[in-house]
Structure 1
Amino acid sequence: MKYGAVIHLQLGQISTVVISSAEMTEEIMKTHYIVFASRPLLVAAKIITYECTDIIFSPYGQYWRNLQKNCTSELLSASWVASFRLIREEEVLNLVETIISNDGLAMNLSQKKFSMTYGITTRVAFGKKCKYQDSFIPVVAEKAKLVSSFFVSEFFPSLQFLDVVSGIYL
C-alpha cells in the first residue's frame, strides 16, 4: 500500500493538517473520523448559513448526524438520483450544444457551468427552471468568493474583534 505524506502547517494560530493521498485520507478517516468530521468555523459561512446550520458547515454532532442521515437516505439515494438522470443529461447536452454553437467565440465557461448546475437543481427541486436564473448566478458566485475570502479571525482567533471593527461580522 502506497501512502502519501501528512504535513502539519501552522497557519497563524491555527494548526492545520494536510494529507496528500486518497489512501492516507481513507486510513485516517477510518480511525479518526470524528476528529476530522467538522469543517473549520469560517466567518463567511457563519453569515451565509445562519450560524453554520446547513449540512456543509454544520459542526459534527447530533444535528449534523440527522442532516447527513436525511440527505443520504432521501436526497442521495440511488433510486432518487437515478430518477433525475434525464434532467442531468438534458442540461449537460444543452451546455455542450452552447459550447459548440459558440465555436471560436469567447465565453464565460464558469457562468455556463453555474447555469447548468442551477438548471439541474431547480428542475429537480421545483419541476422547472426559474425565469430569474441568470440573476441568481452572480449571487452564488459572490457567495463562493466571500466564503473563500481571508478573514483575520480565521487564522488569529484571538484577534476576532478585528472582523467586528471592520464591519465584516457583527
Structure 2
Amino acid sequence: MERIAIIGCGGSGKSTIAKQLGLTLDLPVTHLDAVYYDENWKPLPQEEFAAQQEKLVAGERWLIEGNYASTLPIRLAAADTVIFLDLPAATCLWGILQRRWRYRGGQHHKDGVFDRITWNFVRYIIGYRKQMRPKVTALTAQHAPHARLLTFTSRRQANAFLSEVTTSA
C-alpha cells in the first residue's frame, strides 16, 4: 500500500483512518477538504482543484482522503489501494455529531477536519448510499480495476483492518 485513496460518506471516519494509516505506513496524508476550501470556505475553481490532485498523485507514495466524485477518477487511476467506507447513514450522522463535540465547529487544517454542518450536508449523508454509492462503485470499477479495493460497512471492520496493518507494519 503505497498510494491509497480513502473515500466514503461525510462522518464515516475518512480523516481518522487516514491519519492513523498515514502514521503506521509513513505515508504523506492529504485531506482534500484542506485543498478544496480556503479559511473562508471559498472553494478552488474545479480546474485548479483537479490540477492539484494530478500533482499529488504523481508522487510515489501518498494517502489522499475525500470524496469529490468529479475528480475521483484522478485518484482512482493512480491508486494501488482504495478504501471505501460504506457505513450506514446513522453511523455517519453520529460521526459528524462526535466531530462537532470534539472540534466545536470550524476548520482545523492540521487535522483535516472541516466541521461545517448544514441541512444540505445532513441530507447528503442520509441519501449517500442510495445516490452516491452507485456512482462511487461505478467509478471505482471503471478507473481502478488494478487496485486493491477494501470496502468496510462498519467501524468495527475498519478498526480491525487498522489493527491488522499496525501489527504487521
**TM-score, normalised via structure 2 length:** 0.22
Higher helix proportion (structure 1 or 2): 1
Work out which of the two has the higher radius of gyration on C-alpha atoms and give 1 or 2.
1
Higher strand proportion (structure 1 or 2): 2
**TM-score, normalised via structure 1 length:** 0.22
